[in-house]
Amino acid sequence: MRADLHVHSNYSNDGKPSPQEIVDRAVELGLGCVAITDHNSFEAYFDVKDNGRVIIVPAEEVSSAEGHILAYGIDREIPRGLSIEDTIAAIREAGGYAFAAHPYRWWSGLGEKNTVEHDFDGIEARNARSVPAANRRSERLAARIGKPISAGSDAHSLARIGTGYVEFPDGLETWQEVVRHLMEGDVRVGSKSRTRVTTLKYGTNSIIRWMLRGFKRM
Ligand SMILES: [Zn+2]
Ligand SMILES: [Zn+2]
């Protein structure tokens, strides 16, 4: 069973598809599970959690003071802007697991030092919006420090859903089983990577969006 564990909906201010459209697209692609990881929002989960077609992992991409952290299996929204330590603590308090998102990404990643020095439950080893070298380094880092891995597309549009994925054993039926297998490392990951042209575009767009937000980081 394939799962895309990093997808943004229109509850993220830069995401386009509605949670329902994400579910429809996932079914079309044959994905068995999706984690809608909106920036600092946990709203999408309630729209689609009982859709009966695709397993939805309750999740969020939290903007900590130092970079993005993925929360899987939470039961409430995690506030933005906390230190890394306090963000991890808040995620655990909410019953969830904290994964370092795209650790090597300029701008919004935590960086290697923060990722290694904090007690993360896992590392996002593959992100389809990261450059190939960053994905290779993330995978190597996770292997070196012995942490569970996750992966996803980081899609902000319908077309990119499924471009990054975690492969689970077939037959899982609940998000709790998905998260348990994730934490047991009983998975394979795969993804596309960002090309050099789109990286340039991304850099420019990031700066423009940052200026439009009044110099507030996402
Ligand atoms: Zn991110
Ligand atoms: Zn993201």
For residue 216, the model assigns a pLDDT of: 74
pTM for the full model? 0.91
- 6 CA → ligand 2 middle, Å: 6
**Does residue 46 carry a pLDDT above 90?**
yes
**Does residue 196 carry a pLDDT above 90?**
no
- 143 CA → ligand 2 middle, Å: 22
Rg (alpha carbons) of the chain, rounded to whole number: 16
What is the distance, to the nearest Å, from the Cα of residue 159 to the centroid of all Cα atoms in its chain? 17
- 155 CA → ligand 2 middle, Å: 7
What is the distance, to the nearest Å, from the Cα of residue 186 to the centroid of all Cα atoms in its chain? 18
Contact 99, 120 (CB under 8 A): yes
For residue 101, the model assigns a pLDDT of: 98
pLDDT (mean) for 50-54: 97
Task: List the strands of the sheet with 122-127, edge to edge.
Answer: 59-63, 68-72, 97-100, 122-127, 149-152
Tokens describing residue 163: 């471009």
Q: Count the neighbouring beta carbons within 10 Å of the beta carbon of residue 16.
A: 14
For residue 195, the model assigns a pLDDT of: 72
- 14 CA → ligand 1 middle, Å: 11
Place of tokens 């975690």: 166
- 109 CA → ligand 1 middle, Å: 7
For residue 192, the model assigns a pLDDT of: 87
Element housing 72 (H / E): strand 68-72
Which ligand is the nearest neighbour of the Cα of 104?
1
Identify residue 18 by its one-letter amino acid code: S
- 8 CA → ligand 2 middle, Å: 6
For residue 106, the model assigns a pLDDT of: 86
Place of tokens 């459209």: 21
- 150 CA → ligand 2 middle, Å: 13
Which ligand is the nearest neighbour of the Cα of 109?
1
- Judged by average pLDDT, the poorest of 38-47, 111-120, 131-140, 207-216 is 207-216
**Does residue 76 carry a pLDDT above 80?**
yes
For residue 40, the model assigns a pLDDT of: 98
Phi, psi (deg, nearest 5) at residue 122: -170, 180
- 103 CA → ligand 1 middle, Å: 9
Distance (Å, rounded) from C-alpha 163 to C-alpha 198? 15
**Does residue 151 carry a pLDDT above 70?**
yes
**Does residue 197 carry a pLDDT above 80?**
no
- Judged by average pLDDT, the poorest of 128-132, 178-182, 194-198 is 194-198
**Does residue 215 carry a pLDDT above 90?**
no
Full set of structural domains in the chain with CATH: 2-212 (3.20.20.140)
- 68 CA → ligand 1 middle, Å: 5
User: For the chain, what percent of residues have pLDDT higher than 90?
Assistant: 84
With cut-offs at 50, 70 and 90, classify the pLDDT of residue 211: confident
